[in-house]
A and B are shown apart, each in its own frame.
Chain A
Amino acid sequence: MDAFELRTQLEQLHPVSFGWALSCCSRNQMEAEDILQMAYLKILTGRARFDGRAAFKTWLFAVIRNTAATERRRGWLRQFWQTSYRQEHANDHQPAGQGAALDTTERQTALRQVLARLPRRQQEVLHLVFYQELTIEDAASVMGVSVGAARTHYERGKHRFRALLQPAEDWQ
């Protein structure tokens, strides 16, 4: 796949990639944009190479996820550095968690809060299956786990989601 083709593919998948990056960054838009750009940089500079073993979208999502995981590991330091920057540029970007303001209903906010209480792996697999409409096999490939493990996360995620939702069923 040449550079032009790569860019075309990335551009086509950009909206869904952004959704996935948001999910990997706890819905923080600024971080999601950074992660996305880092992932694109990795791909376009050849540090991440598409070998054709999986679908391009699956591979791209795996790169975004790995990039987010790497950045998360540096999270405490990063948070420290960015504090001053965010204070200075508070008007330039949406602050963390402001995505909720875009939701039109309180139900969405309530569901988001419920989802945020799930373990990361469960959130990821639910996002990949329901938001990105991937199969569990593809979700497993993105997450770098076996299909069995992904299925377990999926079932447990749904079960936990249901359990957490039970007390707040008034939105139904």
Chain B
Amino acid sequence: MNPDDKLRHFFQAQRQADTERVPVFRPVTHRDAPAIAWPRLTFAAALAVVLITGALLMHRLRPVLAVDTARWAVLSNWSAATDTLLSSACPTPWDSIAGFDAGSDTTTKTTERSTL
């Protein structure tokens, strides 16, 4: 028996066996829903619930940075104890140079700050 005959016999026997288990021809519209529909939908719904719950929990548990406004207000009024040294009215060697006012701003600002 050559391989073609073997194949032919094999397939004919298979065909014979298959005819015994051919499902009844049914109109498509009468067929049940595909087997995968419910598990898929159930899983998708469960996944959505888990994701939403997780997102809500994470949102709730996220630490909130409280702004301590009173503390910031106190800090803004703070001035160093040595500020008074900067506001001394002692003449500097460069005061005599006309038009040189580099230090005047500093002195003014320091004076303003110390008065606050």
Residues of A that sit less than 8 Å from B by CB: 7, 10-11, 14-15, 18-19, 22, 29-30, 33-34, 36-37, 40-41, 44, 78, 81-82, 84-85, 89, 94, 99, 102-105, 108, 111-112, 115, 126-127, 130-131, 158, 161-162, 165, 172
Contact = CB atoms under 8 A, between A and B. Distances in A.
A105 B13 CA distance: 10
Contacts of B23: 18, 33, 36
A128 to B, nearest CB: 10
B6 interface: yes
Contact of A130 (B7, B25, B38): B7
Interface residue SS majority, chain A:
helix
Q: What is the interface residue range for chain B against chain A?
A: 20 to 34
Contacts, number: 83
Contacts of A104: 17
A102 B18 CA distance: 9
A91 to B, nearest CB: 14
B3 A82 contact: no
A165 B25 contact: no
